[in-house]
Amino acid sequence: MPKAPVLPTAGEPGELLPLAAAAVEEGECLEELDFVGQTVTGEDFAELELSGCRFVRCRLTGCSFAAATLRDVVFQDCDLSQCRFTKASLTRCALEDCKILGADFSGAALRDVGFSRCRLDLANCNAAALRDVAFRDCSMEEAALSGCRVKGLTLERCVLTRVNFFQTPLAGVDLTSCTLTEPVFSASAGELKGAVVDLFQAAQLARRFGVIIKE
C-alpha cells in the first residue's frame, strides 16, 4: 500500500514555466507550490526537482520530466499524455483522475505512488522499478510493463487489455478484480507464478497456453 504524499494544506500559487527554468538553472528544488489550470506543451523539465507540490487541472502534454525528482507531489485532473518520465524518481506521489496516454516511465523508479481513475493506455513502464505502487480503477489498454522490478504492486479494478507483462514477475499480485484480456507473457508464462486470478481468468489463460479444458 503506497504511503500518502505529505503536503501543506495550501501551497503558494506558482507559474510552472518561469519557476521551473530558474530552478533547473540554479539547481534548486521547487517546494510547496500549487499549479492550477496551467497549459504547457512540449517543454523540457528534465532533472527538475519538485517537493510538496500540487498540479490541479493542468495540461502538460508532451513535456519531458526525464531524470526529474518528484517527492510528495499530487496531480489531480491533469493531462500528462505523451509526457516523458524516463529515469525519473517518483516518491510518495498521487495521480488522480488524470489522462496519461502514451506517457513514458521507462527506467523510472516509483516508490509509494498511487494511480487512481487514470487513463494509462499505451503508457510505457518498461524496465521501471515499482515499489509499493498501486493502480486503481485505471484503464491500461496496451500498456507496457515488461522487465519491471516489482515489490508491492497493486492492480485493482483495472482494464488490462493486451498489457505487456513480459519478464515482470507478478507473484502476490491479485488480478481478480481486473479485466484481463490478451495479456503478453513469455512462452513459459513464468511471470504468472504466484499471481492470484479467478476461475474465469484461469480458464482464459489456460486456453491461451494450449491447455484443453474439459467441461
Specify if 4 maps to a domain.
no
> What is the pLDDT averaged over residues 136-146?
98
Specify if 110 maps to a domain.
yes
Ramachandran category for residue 22: left, alpha or beta (phi over 0 → left; psi -120 to 50 → alpha): alpha
Specify if 108 maps to a domain.
yes
* Residue 131 to residues 60, 62, 123, 191, Cα–Cα distance (Å): 25, 26, 18, 17
Looking at residue 2, the DSSP 8-state letter turns out to be: P
Specify if 180 maps to a domain.
yes
C-alpha cell at 181: 484480456
118, pLDDT greater than 70: yes
Percentage of the chain beyond pLDDT 70 is 97
What pLDDT score was predicted for residue 123?
99
Specify if 6 maps to a domain.
no
**210: pLDDT confidence band, cut at 50, 70 and 90?**
low
Residue of 61 and 11 predicted with greater confidence: 61
Structural domain boundaries enclosing 190: 12-209
End-to-end CA, the chain? 38
The DSSP-derived string for 9-31 is SSPEE--HHHHHHHHHHHT-EEE
pTM to 2 decimals?
A: 0.94
Return the closest-CA partner of residue 181 out of 156, 153, 200, 154. Answer: 200
> What is the pLDDT averaged over residues 171-195?
94
What pLDDT score was predicted for residue 211?
60
Which residues are 173's β-sheet partners? Answer: none
Residue 33, domain CATH: 2.160.20.80
What pLDDT score was predicted for residue 212?
61
Specify if 44 maps to a domain.
yes
Query: What total number of domains does the chain contain?
Result: 1
Specify if 3 maps to a domain.
no
Specify if 215 maps to a domain.
no
